[in-house]
Structure 1
């Protein structure tokens, strides 16, 4: 979850307690829409494959489905954010849709991190503890676990939505903006809750799983096709989880933390705050890339997913070849 107002004009850069916000550069709007639109297409395809092409789910498939679902729920927010930026950071949709925006964004980012962590733990138990019983291997337990995660996401989304109401500053109405001075303390507390419990702990757990998994894979018998396949699959899945954490979520959490600390303790450093906010928008776009990278996990983790993707690619290629042949014949 993130503030979505930034001031980018040097004319507003001054050492005072109020940094006036300006209309966003069009590149921010275009890149944000492109990233989330591409993520929407990829995750819609992923959900279709899970629901229509994989009749028998395993515990791992269940976790991947819920990751795709958490990625897809941010899509309705993107047009609202684009309009908000285009109108000079003025929220025109009213307080209810502002709360919906906060709820969906927080559920999207936090849900993606939690399910990525659970996928890393599941891969660890499947390989390192392959000959021992584990609740993470039981499909019914994983289903209940996912239901519990969504319940927690719903609770935190409602809490954040009501803790961060829209507010007016001059002619603009702000929604989820760091320039809401009356909510500086709330942003400060929420940020560190998200930083510790929404990033550091999940990332640490995934990193531990990867280290333990790497040690186990060195002892895995790769002379057999089954052993080699398990090793490659595990390396790719957990490695991709760590890449997504590092590329998509690390910059977002670091820059957001610097911004809320700066706003709370050094509100007069307007020039520095505006520069941090510019960096924050770059990190926001990077965070959206996770929706595009997550489908790679499904390709690594599900043979049925890979087969469906390959068959669709072959059908598209055949259709293109047939179209080219018809065009050539008519010339």
Structure 2
């Protein structure tokens, strides 16, 4: 029996998700929202002048905050037994915001790793990545790319009726099986593997430089410790938050395309996929730690809240070599 006949003869619907997934999803994204709103406030109100690194951090925090409006809709969707009650437009909004959130985060994390590598390894050389005007244009280009991507995916993946249930962004939408399969591998390769590879290369080169760094001085030791924390945090975010999401989704679309009759397995994979959303949401909680580890400006701004100082002095990229992302 070929794939198309399998899809028409077998009907699989997602099961109602356990209440723990709903609760954890809401908690993680709510905590992430609070942390990133606080981070955005620090960037906008406590840092009068931004460096190129601060600009990248701000846009990362902005992309992290995008998933918050989706969370209440997802909670209702799960509570109603995987029956989408909000119509076509809000389904497309959900897809657009989630894609911009997840892949905006990986892109900006990658740009931060490139910037960090440039600032530390090539601190004596001029670079476009150290120029604020270039970084602003680069971030604008990233948002334009994310907007185009989100609109395309939103229109290519509309909600559909499956056995009386309205489905939105699930592997159980039979007519979208091939579309999900194609989009998944585009996202997996260009939205995860390529950014992770670039970040790993940058941090590998950075780690190699740190092994030769003179740590006899207090400044050298400080630069090494902060850079090591940056490397560790970025790799944790990629491997803990984004790897499970992409791997489980890939397994799901492969099963749906080639083994659509395995309903129980598909339902288990779907539950695992939603669980990986929780891990992906942890990214929004970890990124503020990234700002603290990598940016002296951010730490100064945060500490000024405790001691009642005014706006903190902003440090240039040259002054922040080893401290500024």
TM-score for the superposition, normalised by structure 1: 0.88
Q: Which runs of 5+ in 2 are unaligned?
A: 1-8, 309-325
Give the whole-Å Cα distance in 2 for the aligned partners of 1:83 and 1:72: 20
One of 19, 22, 26 as aligned partner of 2:19: 26
Secondary structure of 2:35's match?
Answer: helix
Give the whole-Å Cα distance in 2 for the aligned partners of 1:235 and 1:69: 25
One of 210, 215, 219 as aligned partner of 1:217: 210
Which stretch of structure 1 is more off in the superposition, 264-273 or 192-201? Answer: 264-273
One of 141, 151, 165 as aligned partner of 2:144: 151
Give the whole-Å Cα distance in 1 for the aligned partners of 2:18 and 2:137: 44
Is 1:180 the counterpart of 2:173 in the alignment? yes
Aligned twin of 1:128: 121
Which stretch of structure 1 is more off in the superposition, 154-163 or 264-273? Answer: 264-273
Is 1:265 the counterpart of 2:258 in the alignment? yes
**Equivalent runs, 1:88-167 vs 2, <5 Å:** 88-167=81-160
Contact 1:123 1:238 in 2 (8 A): no
Secondary structure of 1:92's match?
Answer: coil
Deviant stretches of 4+, over 3 Å? 310-315
Give the whole-Å Cα distance in 2 for the aligned partners of 1:85 and 1:275: 15
Aligned twin of 1:168: 161
TM-score for the superposition, normalised by structure 2: 0.89
Give the whole-Å Cα distance in 2 for the aligned partners of 1:20 and 1:189: 21
Shift of 1:313: 5.2
Aligned twin of 2:277: 284
Secondary structure of 1:289's match?
Answer: helix
Secondary structure of 1:24's match?
Answer: coil
Deviations 1:273-302 (A, max 9, x none): 222222212211101100000000110122
**Cα RMSD for the two superposed structures:** 1.3
Give the whole-Å Cα distance in 1 for the aligned partners of 2:61 and 2:14: 34
Give the whole-Å Cα distance in 2 for the aligned partners of 1:312 and 1:263: 52
Deviations 1:193-250 (A, max 9, x none): 0000000110011111111111111111222222222222222112211110000001
Give the whole-Å Cα distance in 1 for the aligned partners of 2:160 and 2:304: 51
Contact 2:14 2:270 in 1 (8 A): no
**Equivalent runs, 1:32-51 vs 2, <5 Å:** 32-51=25-44
Deviations 1:99-134 (A, max 9, x none): 111100000000000000111111100011111111
Give the whole-Å Cα distance in 2 for the aligned partners of 1:261 and 1:27: 27
Q: Which runs of 5+ in 1 are unaligned?
A: 1-15, 316-331
